[in-house]
Chain A
Amino acid sequence: MDASTYIKREASGRIAIKMGSKSERVMTWTVTVLIALTIAAFLFFDYTGLDLSKAIPETFYNLKKMFLEPALSHFTWGQAFYQMGVTLGLAFLSTIFGAIIAFFLALMAASNLSKAWISKTVRVIVAFVRAVPTVLWVLIFAIAAGLGSEAAVLGMLFHSIAYLVKAFSEAFEEVDQGIIEALRATGANWWHIVVHAVLPSTFTYLLSWTFLRFEINFAVAVAMGAAAGAGGIGFELFMASGFYFDLREVGMITYMILIFAIVLEILSTKMKERYFPAAAKSAN
């Protein structure tokens, strides 16, 4: 047979050394579209009141003041730690309730443990809930349920549940089908299967995901304090920068948040390395 049937040539006659696969085409397209959209974004931006020659040195001056001369002036160290406790408390409550509720919903959403239509319904609802930013949930609950920690916890709970249901149900679906079938053959009912097969083999995953969500919820709780008046260290941060214009205090609060966040990150990385080294990412 003629060799030329196997050799692809470019228009210029040169031998093509790249095979144009679908995945390559999609990647090129994605990159091109993203770059085009970025250029469009910079043309579309609203630049009112922006003076770069003044803003950039001012930012550096502010950053210098914040990070090199941090100090507390409007409240004491005791109060600062109390507020940090409030933020951690909000994060903890929404994570723990979220994990418990998500566990049961994930059992309903996992396709190997549930009926197809139940699993689909739960998934659609969860995708819908997850698409709403947490801050909107908190703000909506703030008027619907009255201000206070209940609104913040409920609002954060919604997003935590949606996130964890996705992560948990994916973990459940990876349970070895053979174990489930073996138990079913012995006449075990659904609860036996969950307690004796699914839970033991996924427990460490669930724990790691929950801890990861706690880490996220800490940052979310800071944000909710600042944007939705949920209290805690985030609210102090908002007051310090938005009302007192006290850069030194902003710096000190930022340092506190940074230290807590890094400690949480190190703990969760340690947990991930110990319990599931391979699958430590993705799943929004």
Chain B
Amino acid sequence: MNEKTMKASRKWQTIFFILLIIGMTLASSAITGFNIIHGIATLPKAGAWILSNLMITQESLERLPTILEKLLETILMSIAATTTGTAVAFFLSLMGSKTTGTKKVFGVFARFVASASRNIPVVAWALILLLSFGQNSVTGYLALFVGSVGFLTRAFIESIDEASQSAVEALRATGATYFQIVFKAVVPQCMPQMISWILFMIETNIRNATLVGILTGTGIGYTFDLYYKTLNYNAVALVTFSIIIAVIVIELMSNYIRKVII
């Protein structure tokens, strides 16, 4: 193929790609009833509404202690779901990784559990668990826990596969047992990466906890929903603002930790 025909086929590819995107956009707009002009037109109106209604007032500030208590509950819930999820994900990833896996059956099992718990949305878990566990923190915790196990297992398998092949072989040659290999070769090498993933998971879980909270009636999500449904928009603004502060503080902390350890 000479340069000219290659250029021509490239051009056709680009045109085809652009047409495909435009076609899919139109199809999506049709099926969802989304009108882009209407959408843009509502934007300034929405902005004005937000500026005039979502204001933190003196009266809403009085609710701060309750809000902070719920926020703390949510943060603790996210951290607990992540750390306990880490423990499970660690063993699953040992089974699933190519370097440390012992039997093929275990590997397939670990990958299956991870994929199912990750791809069934956290919403579905929350709704399913709500039916039998009722409206309390444990329901929200379990929904986040299942999602964390799925995501962390995949991430850990990747880190283990990347890091430790040669060290594992060296230890195996000395006659070390399986758990000696894991704790002296695999864990020290993967530790920084794993901690980085755990921190990432905590950040994600705090954001998800709001969603789960709205569905299961726990934590800060429930507080938000309550004020939202009683049209107390000043309190809504305060809840939103406190979530923003919490997420940003946690993000800054984990960025610092990441910078030091990696």
A: residues with CB less than 8 A from B are 22-23, 26-27, 30-31, 34-35, 37-38, 40-42, 44-50, 54-56, 58-59, 62-63, 66, 82, 85-86, 88-90, 92-93, 96, 127-128, 131-136, 139-141, 143-146, 148-150, 152-154, 219, 222-223, 226-227, 231-232, 234, 237-238, 241-242, 245, 247, 250, 253-254, 257-258, 261-262, 265, 281-282, 284
Whether B155 and A281, one on each chain, are in contact in the complex, defined by CB atoms closer than 8 angstroms, is yes
Q: From residue 238 to 252 of chain B, which have CB atoms closer than 8 A to chain A?
A: 240, 243-244, 247-248, 251
Complex Cα gap A250–B188 (Å): 43
Query: Residue among B27, B211, B251 with the most chain A CB within 10 A?
Result: B211
Complex interface: chain B residues within 8 A of A63 (CB): 128
Whether A59 and B133, one on each chain, are in contact in the complex, defined by CB atoms closer than 8 angstroms, is yes
Complex interface: chain A residues within 8 A of B132 (CB): 54-56, 58-59, 62
Tell me which of A135, A222, A262, A282 contacts B210 (CB under 8 A). A135
Complex interface: chain B residues within 8 A of A44 (CB): 72-73, 76
Query: Residue among A31, A145, A234, A262 with the most chain B CB within 10 A?
Result: A145
Any A CB within 8 A of the CB of B136: yes
Smallest CB gap from A254: residue in B: B124
Complex interface: chain B residues within 8 A of A37 (CB): 76, 79-80, 83
B: residues with CB less than 8 A from A are 21, 24-25, 27-29, 31-35, 38-39, 42-43, 45-47, 49-50, 53-54, 72-73, 76-77, 79-80, 82-84, 115-116, 119-124, 127-138, 141, 155, 158, 191-192, 195-196, 198-200, 203-204, 207-208, 210-211, 214-215, 218, 221, 224, 228, 233, 236, 240, 243-244, 247-248, 251, 257, 260-261
Which 5 residue pairs spanning A and B have beta carbons closest together? Answer: A89-B28, A41-B76, A41-B80, A144-B46, A58-B132
Complex Cα gap A284–B38 (Å): 31
Complex interface: chain B residues within 8 A of A92 (CB): 24-25, 28
Whether B115 and A86, one on each chain, are in contact in the complex, defined by CB atoms closer than 8 angstroms, is no
Complex Cα gap A153–B54 (Å): 21
Complex Cα gap A273–B116 (Å): 22
Complex Cα gap A96–B25 (Å): 8
Smallest CB gap from A45: residue in B: B137
Q: With contacts A140-B54, A149-B33, A237-B124 known, is A45 near B138, CB below 8 A?
A: yes
Complex interface: chain A residues within 8 A of B243 (CB): 131-133, 136
Instruction: List 4 additional A-B contacts (Cβ < 8 Å) besides A30-B199, A132-B244, A223-B121.
Output: A23-B261, A93-B25, A144-B53, A154-B46
Tell me which of B73, B136, B195, B248 contacts A50 (CB under 8 A). B136
Name the distance in Å between A47's Cβ and chain B's nearest Cβ. 6
Whether B128 and A241, one on each chain, are in contact in the complex, defined by CB atoms closer than 8 angstroms, is yes
Q: With contacts A150-B34, A282-B200 known, is A250 near B25, CB below 8 A?
A: no
Whether A153 and B124, one on each chain, are in contact in the complex, defined by CB atoms closer than 8 angstroms, is no
Complex interface: chain B residues within 8 A of A134 (CB): 207, 211
Smallest CB gap from B138: residue in A: A50
Smallest CB gap from B256: residue in A: A26
Complex Cα gap A113–B78 (Å): 38
Instruction: Classify the interface of chain B: helix, strand, loop or mixed.
Output: helix
Whether A27 and B195, one on each chain, are in contact in the complex, defined by CB atoms closer than 8 angstroms, is yes
Complex interface: chain B residues within 8 A of A35 (CB): 83
23 interchain pairs (CB within 8 A)?
A34-B82, A38-B80, A44-B76, A59-B132, A127-B251, A131-B247, A139-B224, A144-B46, A144-B47, A148-B33, A152-B32, A153-B32, A154-B43, A222-B121, A222-B123, A227-B211, A238-B215, A241-B131, A247-B131, A254-B120, A257-B119, A258-B116, A262-B115
Smallest CB gap from B203: residue in A: A284
Whether B119 and A265, one on each chain, are in contact in the complex, defined by CB atoms closer than 8 angstroms, is yes
Name the distance in Å between A62's Cβ and chain B's nearest Cβ. 6
Name the distance in Å between B133's Cβ and chain A's nearest Cβ. 5
Q: With contacts A127-B248, A227-B123 known, is A46 near B34, CB below 8 A?
A: no
Whether A135 and B211, one on each chain, are in contact in the complex, defined by CB atoms closer than 8 angstroms, is yes
Name the distance in Å between B151's Cβ and chain A's nearest Cβ. 11
Complex interface: chain A residues within 8 A of B39 (CB): 150, 153-154
